[in-house]
Each structure stands twice: as C-alpha cells, then as structure tokens.
Amino acid sequence: MVFSSLTFLLFFLPAVLAVYFAVPARFKNAVLFIFSLAFYAWGEPVYVCLMLFSTVLDYSCGRAVDAHRGTGKAKAALLVSVCVNLALLAVFKYSDLFVQTFNRLCGTALPLPHLPLPIGISFYTFQTMSYTIDVYRGRAAVQKNIVSFGAYVALFPQLIAGPIVRYQTIADELNTRTHSADGFGEGAWRFTVGLAKKVLLANNVGQLWDILRAVPAGRLSVLGAWLGIVAFAFQIYFDFSGYSDMAIGLGRMFGFHFPENFNYPYISKSITEFWRRWHISLGAWFRDYVYIPLGGSRRGRAVQLRNLAVVWLLTGFWHGASWNFLLWGAYYGLLLILEKFVLKRVLDRAPAAVCRLYTLFFTLIGWVLFAFDDLSAGLRYLGAMFGVGAPLAAGSASYYLLSNLPLLLVCAAAATPLGKLLHAKLCGLTAEPAAAATSPRTDGKTGRAAGQAVPAVLDAACLLLLLGLSVIFLVSGSYNPFLYFRF
C-alpha cells in the first residue's frame, strides 16, 4: 500500500497542480480538499469517513467554543474535541495492546480487535485537537468555512507523516496565500531532495539493517551489531526527514509555509539538543499542550521532574502500541533529566567532538529500544553490541561494512549541513547559518551572488537527475518500507 501511495503521488501530483492553478483563488481550497480525500482514499478508502468525522467534529467544536466563549459551554465543546480525538487514537491505535495487557493481567482470552491503523491518524488528530485548544485559548481565530478547514485537516502533502502543522501556523495562508515561480521552484527542489533521501538513501541503507537484524543472536558479532544499528539510524532519519521534506516542498508549491521538522539532529552535542532538532513539530506540540499546561518548570523541581516524565512517557507511547516505545520514552526522559540537573556543566566544558560522540552513542542505544517490538530480542541485540556472547568481528560483518562503505559515507555526509553549504557555494547563494534549515535550498530569503551563480540549467539538471534516479529506483525496486506508517 505504501509503495502504491508514493508511486501514486508522483502520477497524482501533476493532475492536482493543473486543476489547482487553473481554478480561481476562491476554489483552490476546495480543490485541495477534494484531491486530498482522493489521495487518502487510495490507501484507506474506508477510513475517509473517519477523517470526515474528525473534520466535522472539530469544526463544530471550534464554532461552539467561539460562539460561547467564556462560558461552560465553550469548555464543554473543548472537552468533547479532546476526549473524542484521544478516544479515536485509543480505539484505532492501542486497542490490541490494551486487550493483550488485560488478558495477561486477568487471565482472560478476549479476542484482539485487529483494527487496521488509519494512515496519519496520529498526525491529523493532534492537528485538529490543537485547533480547538488554540481557539479556546484565543490564539487562533475560528475558521468559519468548513471547506477551508477540511483542506487543513486532509492536506495531502503532510497527511502521511507530518510535520504536525498547527492551524495557527497556516491560518492566514488558508484564507489568502501568494504563488510565485520562485516559490514553486523552491518547493519542487525541496520535494525532490526529500524523495531522493527516502528512495535513494533510506531504502538502500535499510536493506543493510534488515540483513543484520535477521542474523541470529548467537552469530551476530559486535561489529555487525553496531553496523546494523548505524544503518537503522540512517534509515529512520532519511525516511522520516525525507517525507517531511516532501511535505514542506509540496506545501510551498501550493503557497503554504509548513514548519521545519528536522535540523541535522546527528550533529547534536547533547541529547537535549538532539530533541530540539529531531521531529521538531512533535516536540513543540507536547511542550505547548502538555508540558506547559502541567506547569512546566515554574512550580519547583519536583513538579518539573514529574512533567518531564509524563511528557516523555507520552512521547514514547505516541509512537506505537508496544511497550518498547514506552521504555524508549522513559529512556530519553531519564537522559534529559540527567542532562538538565547533573550533566549540563560537564557537557558545557567538554570538547565538541566528545559531546557529539556521547550523543551519538546514547542515540544509537535508544534506536535499539525503538527498533525491536520484542524487548527480549532488543536486549539480546544490545548484548551483542557490547560483546555478550558475540565475537568482536565476523567475516560477514566485515564484508557488509566494506561493500556498503560508500553508501554509509554518503549517508554520513548527507546527515550534516555539508550538502547545503556546498550547494550554496556552487550556486553562489548567500548561505544561511548551518542550523537554519534542513534543505540544501533556501526559501527565497537568500540570493545568488553576482558573478558567482552557476547557470540555472545546471541547477535544474541536478533536480531532474535526482528525480529521475528516484523514480527509477522506486518503480524498479520492491523494497520500499515506510517506517512511520504505524505512528
């Protein structure tokens, strides 16, 4: 289904663009809404009704909050929105886990529901829920046009894997947005870079992870275990950030400015910094709608520790219906608490290289917890990484390292701002600071330096080359996993 959806998108997009730019401005949101529902129906025809239900529910709750502002009815409408959205997540995402846990605790044998997971439900329920909350708080104006609101909820560029786009971020652009050739070109470049990250890098390095993950615990060497988890770290980064880049690029082509979701997290010098650079929109959502409402850091250290623990347990649980994700969230919560109250002074004084190695080490350990639904299998893999019942190296691991070394080096370079800076230099762009964006293309804020610009045809040729290679790999290859499908 994921393979067909990504392939479908490439053939679906020209038709959407043609109709979108052909109709008058007042019909553009309707075009986006209709085509977004069609795109969603390609993968989940039954659950289109669920998305329409969420749209109507939160649109109605937002109108009720606005109409009865300052009264108990407004609070009731807010509670309906929050409770129903959370209930949808509980039923469709966590029902199997809840039933399994109940059966184990009570010795029952209730059948598992086995409900198919609606694509993107974790993203669009958070988006619609935050809309009602922001209207209640007075931070967003109510949307009175249900078609425009439906376009926001179902917007296909970021429907599958985010970023989580809060209503207030694009509220003005839903009503009035500008289109330009430069903006469209920037969006097309960003989309193509994201597609290449997903298809050329994530898919290929993911095959190495799948091979090494399947090695029996007794035959896995230390080298093989570390090589495998490094491959997974690259895979999940390029898979998820690639989809985010595609979403941001598509949004730009349609006149929207979606928030950044990744900012080279693997160059971080602390776990705290890593989580400021990884899945930025999710971290900001939990900060604004969970951590701060609980009191943040304003009510003393004990409350702050509780709030951090709650946020990170919820962050782990958000990622999937398996206890390993809860453990993964607890792991990062503990690390962040230690950094905040114990390690900060040490890290501030340590050399940058040491801090980056420290961050990468604990990030890779965290990816083991994340990658294995079976906790016992994950612990065995961790044991192999540290030599428990595993040889230091084996012939197969050395072979996989040498045969995949060029790919790993490309991935390592692509996970840093090197490509962006090189592109800026070659094209004569006045480059932004390395931490400003995740794309090698800017958003219209920089220009080509006089006399230094590479001809535009070369820029276009690079784009076409990446696009052509991505399409070839996508159409000819059968390996195209989507790691964030279950989230």
Q: Which of 187, 235, 224 is nearest to 441 (CA)?
A: 187
Residue that is last in its domain, among 148, 177, 206: 177
Rounded distance between C-alpha atoms, residue 300 and residue 323, angstroms: 30
The residue type found at 441 is R
Whole-number pLDDT of residue 429: 55
Rounded distance between C-alpha atoms, residue 324 and residue 343, angstroms: 26
189 Cβ contact list (under 8 Å, min separation 6): 249, 439, 440, 441, 459, 463
Whole-number pLDDT of residue 481: 67
**33 in the same domain as 168:** yes
Q: Which of 427, 462, 413 is nearest to 237 (CA)?
A: 413
Rounded distance between C-alpha atoms, residue 389 and residue 363, angstroms: 23
**148 in the same domain as 97:** yes
**How many Cα atoms sit within 13 Å of 170 on the Cβ side?**
26
Rounded distance between C-alpha atoms, residue 156 and residue 162, angstroms: 10
**233 in the same domain as 140:** no
**186 in the same domain as 163:** no
Rounded distance between C-alpha atoms, residue 335 and residue 147, angstroms: 44
Rounded distance between C-alpha atoms, residue 231 and residue 212, angstroms: 9
Tokens for 181, please give them. Answer: 């050739």
The predicted model scores a pTM of: 0.89
Whole-number pLDDT of residue 454: 52
DSSP letter at 219 equals: G
376 Cβ contact list (under 8 Å, min separation 6): none
The residue type found at 208 is L
Rounded distance between C-alpha atoms, residue 125 and residue 21, angstroms: 29
**255 in the same domain as 133:** no
**110 in the same domain as 74:** yes
* Number of neighbours of residue 406 by Cβ within 10 angstroms: 9
Tokens for 410, please give them. Answer: 């490309």
**324 in the same domain as 413:** yes
Whole-number pLDDT of residue 452: 47
Which residues are marked as active site? 319
Residue that is last in its domain, among 143, 158, 177: 177
Whole-number pLDDT of residue 439: 45
**437 in the same domain as 316:** yes
Question: What is the gyration radius of the CA atoms in the chain, in angstroms?
Answer: 23
Whole-number pLDDT of residue 455: 56
Chain segment 131-146, per-residue pLDDT in tens: 999 999 999 999 999 9
**79 in the same domain as 213:** no
Q: Which of 419, 277, 281, 409 is nearest to 356 (CA)?
A: 277
Residue that is last in its domain, among 138, 154, 177: 177
* Number of neighbours of residue 171 by Cβ within 10 angstroms: 18
Going residue by residue through the chain, which has 487 residues, state the pLDDT in tens, using 9 for 90 and above: 444 567 767 778 888 899 999 999 999 999 999 998 888 887 677 788 888 999 999 999 999 999 999 899 999 999 999 999 999 999 988 998 899 988 988 989 889 888 888 878 888 889 999 999 999 999 999 999 999 999 999 888 777 677 999 999 999 999 889 999 989 989 999 999 999 999 999 999 999 999 999 998 788 999 999 999 999 999 999 999 999 999 999 999 999 999 999 999 999 999 999 999 999 999 999 999 999 999 988 888 899 999 999 999 999 999 888 899 999 999 999 999 999 999 989 999 999 999 999 999 999 999 999 999 899 999 999 999 998 888 898 878 999 999 999 999 999 999 999 888 877 776 665 444 444 444 444 444 444 444 445 556 777 788 889 888 988 888 776 666 656 555 5
**How many Cα atoms sit within 13 Å of 45 on the Cβ side?**
1
Peptide bond into 118 cis (omega under 30): no
Rounded distance between C-alpha atoms, residue 2 and residue 466, angstroms: 21
**369 in the same domain as 279:** yes
Whole-number pLDDT of residue 216: 86
134 Cβ contact list (under 8 Å, min separation 6): 140, 166, 167, 168
**242 in the same domain as 102:** no
**146 in the same domain as 200:** no
387 Cβ contact list (under 8 Å, min separation 6): 222
What's the structural domain count of the chain?
2
With tokens 């129903």, the residue in question is 84
| Alpha-carbon distances, residue 238 vs 194, 391, 412, 442 (angstroms) | 8, 30, 11, 19
Whole-number pLDDT of residue 320: 84
Write out the residue range of the structural domain in which residue 298 sits: 182-486
The residue type found at 292 is I
Tokens for 261, please give them. Answer: 């979701």
